[in-house]
């Protein structure tokens, strides 16, 4: 199975920890594209959700749109096998997630046909598990 994960990591199993609730100014503004997808809540985005978002955009726009992915799944999620007893250490890494804060820009897009981009982003937003909104460079909401 080929999925997005870090190439090198010091410890492959980490503790869960809490997602911070403060909004960072650095990741809350558009830096690259004309359109952006902004999160409205705190949560985790799976590596499969990121890839399906990217695939939906590229297939609907016929590869005429530049996409910047601003999040990276660097947190491992582990599970123990079914029927395992308590103890005996932590389970194996099953998938990777990106922790997302409220107000973060998840994806940025740029291209010529703005209506096509807007329609494809509306389809692709359904692939994510968070509440999000589409943001423009000069306006808050499209």
**pLDDT tens digits, residue range 83-132?**
888 888 889 999 999 999 999 999 999 999 999 999 999 999 999 999 99
All structural domains of the chain:
46-136 (3.90.1170.10)
Q: 3-class SS at 58?
A: helix
pLDDT of residue 141: 42
**Residue 15 CB: number of other CB atoms within 10 A?**
7
List, in order, residues 6 or more apart from 141 with CB less than 8 Å away.
133, 134, 135
Closest CA to 46 of 100, 10, 83: 100
pTM here is 0.85
């Amino acid at each position: 199975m080929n999925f997005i994960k870090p190439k090198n990591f010091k410890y492959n199993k980490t503790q869960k920890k809490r997602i911070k609730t403060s909004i960072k100014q650095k990741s809350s503004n558009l830096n690259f594209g004309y359109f952006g997808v902004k999160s409205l809540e705190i949560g985790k985005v799976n590596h499969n959700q990121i890839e399906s978002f990217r695939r939906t955009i590229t297939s609907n726009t016929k590869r005429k749109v530049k996409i910047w992915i601003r999040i990276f799944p660097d947190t491992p999620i582990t599970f123990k096998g079914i029927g395992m007893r308590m103890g005996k250490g932590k389970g194996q890494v099953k998938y990777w997630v990106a922790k997302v804060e409220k107000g973060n820009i998840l994806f940025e897009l740029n291209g010529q046909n703005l209506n096509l981009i807007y329609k494809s982003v509306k389809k692709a937003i359904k692939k994510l598990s968070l509440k999000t909104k589409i943001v423009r460079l000069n306006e808050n909401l499209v």
